[in-house]
Chain A
Amino acid sequence: MNQVLASMAGNVWKVLVQAGDQIEAGQEVVILESMKMEIPIEAETAGTVKAVKVQEGDFVNEGDLLVEFE
């Protein structure tokens, strides 16, 4: 099981994938927004999205689980 974690604390601005999507390494899966900065979060490896753990507008802390895939 692979996971994509938040690299900073902030609000979930955009969720770019949904369960079942095929993703490639380096693909942006979520965009976080904090302190007037937008930070795209990328998947490190390729796989299929199993579950998206956050919704747009959620507040996440650094290290929180955003997306699970396999």
Chain B
Amino acid sequence: MFDKILIANRGEIAVRVIRTCKRMNVKTVAVYSEADAEAPHVKLADEAYLIGGSRVNDSYLNIDKIIEIAKQTGAEAVHPGYGLLSENSAFARRCEEAGIVFIGPSPDVIARMGSKIESRKAMEEVGVPVVPGITHPLADEEEAAQVASKMGYPVMLKASAGGGGIGMQIVRSEEELRKAFAGNQKRATDFFGDGAMYIEKYIENPRHIEIQILADKAGNTVYLWERECSIQRRHQKVVEEAPSPFLDETTRIAMGEAAVRAAKSLGYSNAGTIEFLVDTDRNFYFLEMNTRLQVEHPVTEEITGLDLVEWQLQIAAGQLLTFGQSDVKRQGHAIEVRIYAEDPKTFFPSPGTITKFSVPEGKGIRHELAVNERSVVTPFYDPMIAKLIVTGDTREEAIDRLQSALADYHVEGIKTNIPMLQQVAAHPAFRSGDTTTDFVTVHLQRK
């Protein structure tokens, strides 16, 4: 095992990594920006170094400076956390070149999974389903009709040059498609100067369900079940839970096996996640792979009893998995909610000084915190300030616990999304497991 590692990150994830390192007797080196001089991760680490100004480009994304400090302090490995440099293949390569272990997969795998086209190809090669679509522009209405009938309706007619929802139309029958095609092609030419049209299968009321995997350097790979992360705002997850209230055992295992197949074919090692869209008939389609630890990893830790950070370190140090698929437990139910410094209605950021911060304690409650009373939440970083994770023997028990924990969670001085989380937790649709990706828009009437 490593004697000392550097944590190239900030906030709750840096604190989280330090906690496991302390338990494993691994010394920690923190790096920080000017704005983070008083941050919890700086105080908790064995050593801490100022690396630059408050903006991430001057500090947490400064590869040269981070490598220099790793070398100077004798850190044998770098844990990148999530976000920032965690999926930066150039950083992983620079670590390698400097003789420092990057706690993550190889730079090549990071690069491959970072590309939409490459990752889609890689998944198709090993029979992992991707959202059906075509990769060349449609010649005419006839071809559009042929492709669509093969794919099955509804389909999404897309202008190649469009974006952000512009130039896209859902069509539900051949009649609709024939009506829509010429007009959309003309509009695309007029608006975007490019009439290239594509068709993609339209997934209705989808859920976002992802599979956590662990893989060692010898290729032993296991899946640690799923997390359902459908409840999102501004395409960022807000509530995550395990197990998914929607999956049946057959789909769950099929998704797990597909994820393992994908990871093995890539020569993947480290913790990783394969994200899928799941339709109402429980068909699943590959979205993307996250080649790092994720924000929502605690829900998997709670239901499996595994410490994922510990396993990341073990795997990076060359340790092989000491358990197989049949040893991976699944017990109880876990829900994580992300506490954001933001207006609960508009979702606008709300930086400022926290004047009161008290969190509930008790059975089945876990916190991952990046702030305390008197912390200054600056406009420089992500708005997430804390995570609340609750567990119960059943989903009902976990939701009850979530509701009472949120009622006892007090943050003053800045606005937080706690009122919005309370609305979600109290909503009958959430209670009944009706958690599709449009939950916030449909049930809370917000975008």
Interface residues of A (CB under 8 A from B): 7-11, 33-37, 39, 59, 62
Q: In the assembled complex, which residues on chain B have CB atoms less than 8 Å from the CB atom of A59? A: 379
Contact with A along B306-349 (1 / 0, CB 8 A): 00000000000000000000000000000000000111001011
Are A7 and B346 closer than 8 Å at their CB atoms?
Answer: yes
Which chain A residue has the least Cβ–Cβ distance from B351? A9
B348 contact set on A, CB distance < 8 A: 7-8, 34, 37, 39
- 18 A-B pairs with CB atoms under 8 Å apart are A7-B346, A8-B346, A8-B348, A8-B349, A9-B349, A9-B350, A9-B351, A9-B379, A33-B379, A35-B341, A35-B342, A35-B380, A35-B382, A36-B381, A36-B382, A36-B383, A37-B234, A39-B348
A44 to chain B, nearest CB (A): 15
Nearest Cβ in chain B — how far from A11, in angstroms?
Answer: 6
Question: A8-B343, A35-B341 given as contacts; is B350 within 8 A of A62 (CB)?
Answer: yes
Give A37 to B382 CA distance when docked, in angstroms. Answer: 9
Residues of B within 8 A of A7 (CB): 346, 348
Chain A proximity mask over B75-104: 1 for CB below 8 Å, otherwise 0: 000000000000000000000000000000
- A26 CB, nearest partner CB in chain B, Å: 17
Instruction: Mark each residue of chain B from 340 to 374: 1 if its CB lies under 8 Å from any CB of chain A, else 0.
Output: 01110010111110000000000000000000000
Interface residues on B, range: 10 to 19
- Give the complex CA separation of A7 and B415 in angstroms: 13
Q: How far is the CA of A15 from the CA of B62 in the complex (A)?
A: 29
Given contact pairs A9-B351, A9-B352, A10-B351, A35 touches B346 in the complex (Cβ within 8 A): no
Q: Which of B350, B352, B382: most chain A Cβ within 10 A?
A: B350
Give, as a whole number of angstroms, the nearest-CB distance from A42 to chain B.
13
**In the bound complex, what is the Cα–Cα distance between A66 and B349 (angstroms)?**
18
Q: Which residues of chain A are near B381, meaning CB under 8 Å? A: 35-36
- Pair count A-B, CB < 8 A: 41
* Bound Cα distance A35, B35 (Å): 13
Q: A8-B350, A35-B341 are in contact. List 15 more A-B contacts (CB 8 A).
A: A9-B350, A9-B352, A9-B379, A10-B349, A11-B379, A34-B349, A35-B349, A35-B351, A35-B381, A35-B382, A35-B383, A37-B348, A37-B383, A59-B379, A62-B350
User: How many angstroms between the C-alpha atoms of A11 and B349 in the bound complex?
Assistant: 11
Q: Which residues of B contact A33 (CB under 8 A)?
A: 379
Tell me if A34 and B382 are in contact (CB < 8 A): no
User: Contact at B346–A34, with CB atoms within 8 Å?
Assistant: no
Chain A proximity of B267: nearest CB distance (Å): 33
Which of A7, A9, A33, A35 has most chain B Cβ within 10 Å?
Answer: A35
Which residues of B lie under 8 Å from residue A10 when comparing CB positions? 349, 351, 379
Q: How far is the CA of A9 from the CA of B415 in the complex (A)?
A: 11
Q: Which residue of B lies closest to A11 (CB)?
A: B379
- Complex Cα spacing A11 to B341, Å: 16
Binary A-proximity of B395-427 (CB < 8 A = 1, otherwise 0): 000000000000000000000000000000000
Please measure, in the bound complex, the distance between the C-alpha atom of A21 and the C-alpha atom of B234, giving whole angstroms: 33
Which B residues are in CB contact (< 8 Å) with A34? Answer: 348-349, 351, 379
Nearest CB of chain A from residue B335's CB, rounded to whole Å:
24
Q: Which of A7, A9, A11, A36 has the most chain B CB within a 10 Å cutoff?
A: A9
Interchain nearest-CB distance for A5 vs B (Å): 13
Q: What separation, in Å, do the CA atoms of A9 and B382 have in the docked complex?
A: 14
Residue of A nearest to B340 (CB): A35
Q: Determine the chain A residues whose CB is within 8 A of the CB of B382 once the complex forms.
A: 35-36
Residues on the A chain within 8 Å of B350, using CB: 8-9, 62
User: How far apart are B338's CB and chain A's nearest CB, in angstroms?
Assistant: 13
Contact indicator B349/A37 (Cβ below 8 Å): yes
Give every chain B residue within 8 A of A9 (Cβ-Cβ).
Answer: 349-352, 379
Instruction: Kindly state the separation between the CA atoms of A36 and B351 in the bound complex, as whole angstroms.
Output: 12
Q: Which chain A residue shows the least CB distance to B234?
A: A37
Rounded to whole angstroms, the CA-CA distance of A8 and B341 in the bound complex is: 11
B residues in contact with A35, CB < 8 Å: 341-342, 349, 351, 379-383
Query: Which residues of B in the span 203-257 have a Cβ within 8 Å of any Cβ on A?
Result: 234
In Å, the complex CA distance between A7 and B383 comes to 16
- The docked-state distance in angstroms from the alpha carbon of A24 to that of B380 is 32
Chain A residues with CB below 8 A from B379, complex form: 9-11, 33-35, 59
